Amino acid sequence: MASVARIVAMTIQTRRERERAERERLIVTAARDLAEAEGWDAVTTRRLAAEIEYSQPVLYSHFKGKDAIMAAVAVRGCEELTVELRASAAAAEGARERLAAVGRAYTGFGRRRPALYDVMFTHRVDLPFATPEAPPALQEAFGELLSAVEPLAAEGEDPALLTETYWAGLHGLVTLMRSGRLPEQAHDRRLALLIGRFAPRATAR
């Protein structure tokens, strides 16, 4: 009897936990969608609460604060980015073309999903980044870049550092363009120049 009761309690418990987890996903999805539709300024705790049809304090039973919600959105964004990078790399042949493909995919992601990109790579958000405790999704995304850059590293060059440098170039292009500092229309040519610097034709042929 006692054991049965315990089992029942456990299943009720698990159902509750499942519902909680589902609601948490709902919060993150709502925050992301709202941000992508109207920008992060429109994502207020009140607005978000209305969106999920709960009251404000519920948010704080899932996340420490608004920043934590944004961090969760960022992690989900990394997963999406990884998928896109992987797909583009898989479809490309040759080292130079692989580098170009991930570059296009990366900047395309940043331009197509500006709000998501911002929370991942621009906004201050308390996520561990350049450490072993970084979210796996983030490490995978970096890994995709790494495997595209690595074959193009010259002798004596650290592939990881070279990848970070290439990443910085892509990131700079995306952010400067999106904030109006660089004109949109020449993006492809700038990207081609960047790629050319990291994969000289001599190396590819």
Partner DNA sequence: CAGTGTTCCTAGCGCTGCTAGCGAGGAGAG
Partner DNA sequence: CTCTCCTCGCTAGCAGCGCTAGGAACACTG
What are the residues binding its own copies (CB under 8 A)? 121-122, 124, 129-130, 157-158, 161-162, 164-165, 167-173, 175-176, 179-183, 186, 189-190, 193-194, 197-198
Q: What's the rounded Cα separation, in Å, for the pair 200 and 153?
A: 11
Q: Which is nearer to its own copies, 45 or 175 (CB)?
A: 175
Q: Does 55 bind DNA (CB under 7 A)?
A: yes
- Residues 46, 90, 158, 184: which binds DNA (CB under 7 A)? 46
By CB under 7 A, the residues from 1 to 30 that bind DNA are 5, 8-9, 12, 16
Q: What's the rounded Cα separation, in Å, for the pair 24 and 30?
A: 10
Residue 8 touches which of DNA, its own copies, none (Cβ within 5-8 Å per kind) = DNA
Dihedral of the alpha carbons of 37, 42, 47, 52, in degrees to the nearest 10: 30
Write out 6-39 in H/E/C secondary structure. HHHHHHHHHHHHHHHHHHHHHHHHHHHHHHHHHC
Residue 100 C-beta: closest distance to its own copies, Å: 14
Q: What's the rounded Cα separation, in Å, for the pair 104 and 88?
A: 9
Q: Which is nearer to DNA, 32 or 104 (CB)?
A: 32
Q: Which is nearer to its own copies, 29 or 165 (CB)?
A: 165
Q: What's the rounded Cα separation, in Å, for the pair 40 and 44?
A: 8
Q: Which two tokens stand for residue 78?
A: 């990394």
Residue 171 C-beta: closest distance to its own copies, Å: 4
Residue 183 touches which of its own copies, DNA, none (Cβ within 5-8 Å per kind) = its own copies
Within a 10 A sphere around the Cβ of 52, how many other Cβ atoms? Answer: 15
Within a 10 A sphere around the Cβ of 121, how many other Cβ atoms? Answer: 19
Residue 129 touches which of DNA, its own copies, none (Cβ within 5-8 Å per kind) = its own copies
Name the site residues for DNA (rule: CB under 7 A). 5, 8-9, 12, 16, 43-47, 54-58, 60-61, 65-67
